[in-house]
Amino acid sequence: MPAVSSSAPPLVASLPAPPVTAAPADLPLVIAPRRDALVTAAVVFVVSALGVGVLFQFARQWQIEAVRSELLQVARIAATRIDVEAHRTLRRPDQELGPRYRRVLAPLVDLLRATDDVLFLYTGVLDGDRVRFVLDTSTVYHVPGDATEPGHLMEEYSGADADFRRALVTRAPTINDEPQVDEFGYFLSAYAPLYGPDGRFEGVVGADMRVQAFEARVGRVTRITRLALVATVLLAASMGMLVYRLRVAAAEAVDRNWRMRAELAAARDAAEQSGRAKAAFLAMMSHELRTPLNAIIGYGELMHDELARRGQSRLAADMARVYGAGRHLAALISDILDFSKIEADRLVLVREPVDVAGLLADVRAELAPDATARGLALSVDADPATGVVHTDRERLRQVLRNLVGNAVKFTERGAVTVRARPAPGRPGRVVIAVHDTGPGIPADKRGRLFQPFSQVDGSLTRRAGGTGLGLVLSQRLVGAMGGTLRLRSRPGTGSTFRITVPRGDGEGRPS
C-alpha cells in the first residue's frame, strides 16, 4: 500500500475523506483515517510476516530432515530385500547380468520403480582398502533422463563421497550432510548396512537422490509460505480498509455530534463481525497451518529432551507445556480436517489385522493418567473370544480415544468401563461398549450429540475443551468401517456408547 500524505485523494472513491475535525474543548480529538489505516495495515503485515518467516524456517528445516530420513529409510528397506547368501557369491565381473545377478538385483529394481525421487540403488563392499560396487540398478534399469554410467560388478568406486567408505568402515547407517557432486550432477546419498542371516556384515546398500528432487520437496514449504504471505497481505489490506472506514465514520460522527455513541457502537459491532470473518478465514487455513505446527511440536520435543538431558528441569517443564499445547492445537485442527475429508467423501481406510484386546489396553494406558487425576477407575474387560478384526487400526483407536476420553472428561465420580465381546446372535461382528457413571444425557438432548459443532451442555464442554466434532467423527468413522455407533443413557445413572464392527477378512472385506 503506497504512502499517502494528508492531502492525498481518499483511498475509497465512494467515501470522500472528511476534514480533520476536533471535538469540543473538553475532549480534543484529531482523526486521520488514511494515516490510521496505513499504520494498522503496516503493523498487521509486519507482525504476521515475522510469524510466517519464523514458521517457514522451522518448517523448511523439518522438511529437509524428513527428506534425508526418507532417503535413509529407502536404503534400509532395500537392505532387507536382498538375498544376502546369493549376494556373497557375486564377486567376479563375468557374473554381471547373469541369472543370479539379475535375481538378486530384481528387488532393488522393483523398489526403484516404486519411488519418485530416488535415482539409484546399489550395493558396495570393501575389498581390502578399496570400495567396490556389487549390484547397481542402472545396469538393467535407467531412470528417464539419467545419463550416468552404471557401476559394474566389482568395479572400484572412484567418486569423492567419503561417506560411502565411512559407512563400510563404521557399519552404521550414514547419510550425506551436504550434497555430493560428480561429473553427472549433484546427489544426496544414504547408506544402510547389509547383514546376512548369520549376523555377518556383508556391505552397504546405497540410495541416491538428485538435488533437484530434494529441492523440489523443500520447495513445497516455500510455496505454502508464499500462500501464507499472500493471505497476510490480504489480511493487512482488509484490516487497513476496515480501520479506514471506522475512522471515516468516527470523523463524520464528530462533525455531527461527538456524543452520538450509537454510531460508534455500530462501528464496533462491524469490527467484531470482521473479527468473526477473520476467524472463519483462519479456520479455512487449518491445512496450511498444520505443517508449521508439526514443526513446532517436533522441535519442542527435541528441545524438551535436550533440556531434560542437561538437567534444566524448570525449562524442560516449560517446553513440555509448549509442545503439549501444540499437540492439543494439532488435535483440534486434525478433527476439522478429518471432518472435512468425511464431508468431501475423501476418507481412505487402511484395513489390517487389529487385536481388539491389545488396542483397548493401549487406549487404557494412554488415558489412565487422566482418569486417575479425576479419581476415576478405568478398566478394560475384553473377552478372549473377541480376537482380531480387520479394519483401520488408527481410525478405530481414534474412535475409542474419543469415546473413552469423553467418558473420563464428563464423569465426576465412579468408574469408566470398556467391554469387548463377540456380538450375540451376529456372527462375524464384535461389540465394544464404553460405559460411564456420569450424569447421563436427557432424551431431548441426545439428538444434538451427533450434529457437527453441537454440544449438549455448553458450560461442561467449555470447561472440558473440545470442538464438538468428536462424536460426529466417531459415528461417521464407525459407519465407514461398516459398523454402527449407538447410545443408551439414563439421567443420573450414566451412559453407554456401543460400537458394533465387522470382523472382516484378511483383505479387508466384511465377512
Asked whether residue 294 falls in the same domain as residue 335, the answer is yes
Q: Bigger pLDDT: 451 or 197?
A: 197
Task: Examine the fold and report which residue of 165, 190, 211 is the final residue of a domain before the chain moves on.
Answer: 211
**What percent of the chain lies above the pLDDT cut of 90?**
27
C-alpha cell recorded at residue 468: 464438538
Asked whether residue 330 falls in the same domain as residue 359, the answer is no
Asked whether residue 312 falls in the same domain as residue 383, the answer is no
pLDDT at 101 over 90: yes
Instruction: Name 352's bridge partners.
Output: 391
Supply the range of the domain harboring residue 378: 352-502
Q: What is the mean pLDDT of residues 424-452?
A: 81
**Residue 331 in contact with residue 470, Cβ under 8 Å?**
no
Helix (H, G, I), strand (E, B) or coil at 26: coil
Instruction: Return the exposure string of 290-301: e unless at least 16 CB atoms fall within 10 Å of the residue's CB, then b.
Output: bbbbbbbbbbbb
The domain tally of the chain equals 3
pLDDT at 2: 36
pLDDT at 3 over 90: no
For residues 168, 173, 177, 179, the Cα torsion angle rounded to the nearest 10 degrees is 70
Helices (H), 261-311: 261-284, 286-309
Helix (H, G, I), strand (E, B) or coil at 134: strand
Asked whether residue 356 falls in the same domain as residue 337, the answer is no
The answer to whether residue 454 sits within a structural domain is yes
Q: Which of the listed ranges 3-12, 168-177, 280-289, 441-450 does the model predict with the highest average pLDDT?
A: 168-177
pLDDT at 260: 61
Q: Report CA-CA distances (Å) from 178 to 64, 186, 500.
A: 11, 10, 53
**Residue 105 in contact with residue 111, Cβ under 8 Å?**
no
Asked whether residue 452 falls in the same domain as residue 358, the answer is yes
pLDDT at 391: 92
pLDDT at 463 over 60: no
CATH code, 113: 3.30.450.20
pLDDT at 262 over 70: no
Q: Which of the listed ranges 217-226, 269-278, 354-363 does the model predict with the highest average pLDDT?
A: 354-363
pLDDT at 280 over 70: no
pLDDT at 126: 92
DSSP characters for 180-237? EEETTEEEEEEEEEEE-TTS-EEEEEEEEEEHHHHHHHHHHHHHHHHHHHHHHHHHHH
pLDDT at 453 over 70: no
Asked whether residue 384 falls in the same domain as residue 444, the answer is yes
Range from 186-190, 218-222, 338-342 carrying the lowest mean pLDDT: 338-342
Q: What is the mean pLDDT of residues 351-362?
A: 92
Whole-structure pTM value: 0.40
pLDDT at 456: 55
Asked whether residue 336 falls in the same domain as residue 363, the answer is no
The answer to whether residue 376 sits within a structural domain is yes
Contact residues for 65 (Cβ-Cβ < 8 A; gap 6+): none
C-alpha cell recorded at residue 307: 533440556
